[in-house]
Structure 1
Amino acid sequence: MENNDSEQKAALGIVWAIVGVVVVSVLLLAGYFGLTSGKGGSKPATTVSAPQNANVPAVANVAAGTEQAAAGVPAAVKIFFETGKSEVPASAATDVAPIAMYLKANSAATVAVSGYHDASGNADVNAEVSKERAKAVRAVLVAAGVEESRVVLDKPQVSLGGNDADARRVEVTVHQ
């Protein structure tokens, strides 16, 4: 009977491994097609606790991007941050992957990174946090293989209307 228990445990381990692979695959595909790029609810994404400018998430060897170039310019990506924080969310590398692939396939294109904040509180502090968030997203793009000279940081902007999460976002937009 003990032998049967160990076989069941092994089978269960294999099933969980397969489930894990399927979940990761679905998340990667969702990020590739822009389904996790900040659309939907106002809840901010879980963030990585790594310090600024330290090991930012890297995108694993993004292909030449010929399919993306044929499909056109990728939509703008919105990356949401926690209140008062500038650490990039764990999903940021996946969210910007289509843009990185497009830039690799289109050498004339550039990308604008715009940080937003709301009008409440100290305007200077808000602008500085917004600027640090934009720098953190630029670091993710550079880690994905985009030349830093092709990433333009826009002046921090005040988010008008919307919800609290909209005021804590960075938008990444491709320019031809």
Structure 2
Amino acid sequence: MMDENDDGARVGLWVVLGIITLLLFGLIFGLGFRAMQAKKAPAPAAAAAPAVAVVVDVLIEGPLAGEIVGKLFFEVAKAELPADATAALAPVLQALAANPGKKLVIAGFHDPSGDPAVNHELAKNRAKAVRAAITSQGVDAARVALRKPEQTAVDGPADEARRVEIRLVD
């Protein structure tokens, strides 16, 4: 293809091959260097992320114990706090402040009618709403536990099946 006398074309070809080789080595070493730097330095997004308290929904079991310091009654099929929630939670906050070594256990209740899984979830969401209201008042989340939802008796008052009890425990 190339003539023996065509030294200029041969030199040009070697120059082009040399440049391509240098670009490839530069690219490979640059990527390797970048990967090593990424391992050494923490990710900027992780360093800038604020510390967020994670609330885990651990449902405790066992017999109901402790002094009832609050009781809230909810609307049918609703988990939103009732209008009188602030007034109902005031004695709870006072009892907790007066007993710094004690904790709260929040238990939601539901009746046996309808789908048990839906009722269980509704009672749990009601208890979580009460917990959120209490912790929003500055109470440490570690002092507030959720209890596994309870089913009420069939013949009991209807509003008792839509209640959340707050107990002060050791």
TM-score class normalised by the smaller sequence = 0.5 to 0.7
Q: What's the CA shift for 1:137?
A: 0.4
Local SS of the residue matching 1:112: strand
Question: Are 1:119 and 2:112 counterparts?
Answer: yes
Q: TM-score, normalised by structure 1?
A: 0.56
Q: For 1:142 and 1:101, how far apart are their aligned partners in 2? A: 14
The equivalent of 1:163 in structure 2 is: 157
Which of 82, 85, 93 lines up with 2:86 in the alignment?
A: 93
Is the 2:67–2:169 contact (alpha carbons within 8 Å) kept by the matching residues of 1?
Answer: no
SS of the residue corresponding to residue 134 of structure 2 reads helix
The one-letter code of the counterpart of 2:75 is E
C-alpha distance in structure 1 between counterparts of 2:77 and 2:86, whole Å: 21
Among candidates 64, 74, 95, match of residue 81 of structure 1: 74
Structure 2: runs of 5 or more not aligned: 1-65
Q: Is the 8 A contact 2:69 2:167 kept in 1?
A: yes
SS, match of residue 148 in structure 2: coil
Which runs of 5 or more structure 1 residues have no equivalent in the other structure? 1-72
- The percent identity for this pair of structures is 41
User: Residues 25-174 of structure 1: matches in 2 within 5 Å?
Assistant: 75-160=68-153, 161-174=155-168
Name whichever structure is richer in strand by fraction.
2
Write out the 4+ residue segments of structure 1 that deviate beyond 6 Å after TM superposition: none
Give the Cα separation in 2 of the matches to 1:145 and 1:175.
19
Tell me the number of residue pairs that the alignment of Structure 1 and Structure 2 aligns.
104
CA separation of 1:90 and 1:113: change in aligned 2, threshold 3 A: same
Query: Corresponding residue for 1:47?
Result: none
Matches of 1:74 and 1:99 in 2, distance apart? Answer: 11
TM-score by length of 2: 0.57
Q: What's the secondary structure of 1:116's corresponding residue?
A: strand
Q: Which has the larger Rg?
A: 2
CA distance in structure 2 between the aligned counterparts of 1:94 and 1:74, rounded to whole angstroms: 18
From 156, 165, 175, give the equivalent of 2:169: 175
Q: Secondary structure at the match of 2:139?
A: coil
Provide the rounded CA distance (Å) in 2 between the counterparts of 1:91 and 1:151.
21
Shift of 1:75: 4.3
Q: Is the Cα contact below 8 Å between 2:103 and 2:143 reproduced in 1?
A: yes
